Structure 1
Amino acid sequence: MRDTGALARQVEEFMARHPGVSLAALGAGEHAGSLELSPFGVPATYLPAERNLALAQQYLALNQLAFGGIGVPRWVLSDLYLLPGAIGLLRCPARLVKPEVREALGLADEDPTIGAAYYAAPSVTPGLFIGVSLLSFLPGTGAAPWVKALTLGMLRARRLRGVAQWDNPSVRVHARLGPLRLVGRVPGGHEYGERTFVYETDLSDGVRVAEAMVRRLYRVPTQRVSVTDLSALSALLDRAEAGEVLHLVPPGVDAGHVLVSEG
């Protein structure tokens, strides 16, 4: 993601509002030199996973706390997260996170912990990353889109593809980085296939990302489709797979409807 003065100012303001929060990355030691460890001017600490086993275990526990039965297994964390890539972390004193996190991990108020985290997997297409896992336990901070943006900045991502469900509130978080171009259905299928789609975010225009992050990027939707109208939503994916350009425009979902811009 290209750096801009606007994004740098926004990140600086976010960090200033939340003293005690710091940026880090957890991954295989050899990846340290491949990351941008000052995304938008925020210094990031690289933590080799081989020497930070307790932190890797903490991330694993928090991922499973956030996602329950679909939380990442340990071998997936090692083989498919940490070996090929790096997880972006916002770390903080435990007093800042939700009480259930402190209880689950047995933390005292000043113990360091992971407040928010994002993982995007590298792909075979240069500059394209695949969004995998976003979690935040920092209530009232709006940390989720910021840990996502900062991680993608560390990765120097130019495009992001992800998977979402039409009726999931996370669509609003994803749209904080800009319009979501509809790509189509999930390759290989999905447990929630009838209400799931693949989207792509263009991260190459830092000015547009900055506008989206502060909710000033707006395009008038040409269609509003109910998140329960699976037939109409499936037809949108048919059109996208046929090559038509369709976007979900920020905030992505409003009052139970996805906001679609055609052309």
Structure 2
Amino acid sequence: MRLDFKDIGNHQTAFFALGDLANLKKLPTSALGKSIHLRNSADPKQARFAFLFNIFNGSVYGDVMGMPPWVMINCIFQNAALIGIEGPAKYIPVAMREKIDTALAEMNSDHLKDDEIVPLAEACAIKTFAPDRVHAFSLYSTTPGLGSIAKAAMLDIHRQMGARYQTGTAQYDNASLAIHTKFGALDILQPQVALHTKHDRTFIYGCEIPDEAALLSIAMGHRPMLPGELKPEAIIQFDWRELEQYQNMTQRHENGSHRYVMLPPGIDAVTKTNPIAEIKL
């Protein structure tokens, strides 16, 4: 069975928020019109659930990019909350479940049980010094289709709390760009991030947070036309592996002569290139 938005709240699935109790008390009571299951990260009963998030994150991102537990605690639980979709492990596809069970075995931990409630998908953002801005830094889905719903729920929660703009850190070759660009074209704020672990392919983007109706539409699998979307004439197929092209974009951005905007679908599944509007200023 493939889950979609209408299933959230049924089949033992729900939106969840995992974090420090003080943060949970400040959250709205619902996301996209559906209730949120609050999970106190300090409660020993939540230890397995939090541990599974960390394992799932590592299984999706790999050893280099998997989130260390101290980042999970310091940056998410104590500063915001992990937002996602929980449900029985039986919904995780076989290949992903085998990968997760292998990671659990390496940690001398119990394998997943079919009826065990687990974090099927998550999205996380934390507030910045700008009161209307949040920065997203984690997104995964163990089950096809849930990543967009998790991000829509996360953005709706932050929107209800006053956020209107979202920045994020991503990689040009990451399949999650197909999700990020569903929420609008991505203004490339920093084409290259020299200090990042994957500095050769990482960029920072910005995007207006859609209104509630648009977020709900995206969560339901539709593609609404969002305000301010571009229909540019000059679109390049950007390839971060082409050093000269990458350097040219970075230099033009730094010189202020051009603006670059990543357009949907974000990444070509075959060539791994990115449709980017090159706008001369």
* TM-score interval, smaller chain: 0.7 to 0.9
Describe the SS at the equivalent of 1:109. Answer: coil
Counterparts of 1:34 and 1:237, CA distance in 2: 40
2:82 is the counterpart of 1:87:
yes
Give the C-alpha shift of residue 54 in structure 1.
2.4
| Corresponding residue number in structure 1 for 2:166 | 160
| Corresponding residue number in structure 2 for 1:214 | 222
Query: Does the aligned pair in 1 maintain the 2:86–2:118 contact within 8 Å?
Result: yes
The letter for the 2-side match of 1:168 is N
1:1-263 to 2 correspondence within 5 Å? 14-16=5-7, 19-20=10-11, 21-51=13-43, 52-69=46-63, 70-98=65-93, 99-100=97-98, 101=100, 104=104, 105-138=110-143, 140=144, 142-156=145-159, 157-185=163-191, 189-206=195-212, 214-217=222-225, 219-221=230-232, 222-227=234-239, 228-243=241-256, 244-254=258-268, 256=271, 257-263=273-279
Change (3 A) 1:93 1:172: same
Query: Does the aligned pair in 2 maintain the 1:23–1:42 contact within 8 Å?
Result: yes
Change (3 A) 1:68 1:252: closer
TM-score by length of structure 1 reads: 0.83
Query: Does the aligned pair in 2 maintain the 1:36–1:153 contact within 8 Å?
Result: no
Count, aligned residues: 249
The letter for the 1-side match of 2:23 is H
Unaligned runs of 5+ in 1: 1-12
The structure with more helix, counted as a fraction of residues: 1
The letter for the 1-side match of 2:118 is T
Counterparts of 1:189 and 1:16, CA distance in 2: 41
Change (3 A) 1:215 1:235: farther
Query: Does the aligned pair in 2 maintain the 1:178–1:250 contact within 8 Å?
Result: yes
Measured on the aligned residues, the alpha-carbon RMSD in Å equals: 2.6
Query: Does the aligned pair in 1 maintain the 2:125–2:136 contact within 8 Å?
Result: yes
Unaligned runs of 5+ in 2: 105-109
Deviations 1:129-152 (A, max 9, x none): 1111111111x3x11111011012
Moved more, 204-213 or 124-133: 204-213
Deviations 1:203-257 (A, max 9, x none): 1545665676623547544222231333223333333344444311111233533
Query: Does the aligned pair in 2 maintain the 1:123–1:129 contact within 8 Å?
Result: yes
Change (3 A) 1:245 1:208: farther
Counterparts of 2:36 and 2:8, CA distance in 1: 18
TM-score by length of structure 2 reads: 0.78
**% identical aligned pairs:** 24
Counterparts of 1:181 and 1:46, CA distance in 2: 33
Counterparts of 1:166 and 1:262, CA distance in 2: 16
Give the C-alpha shift of residue 186 in structure 1.
5.2
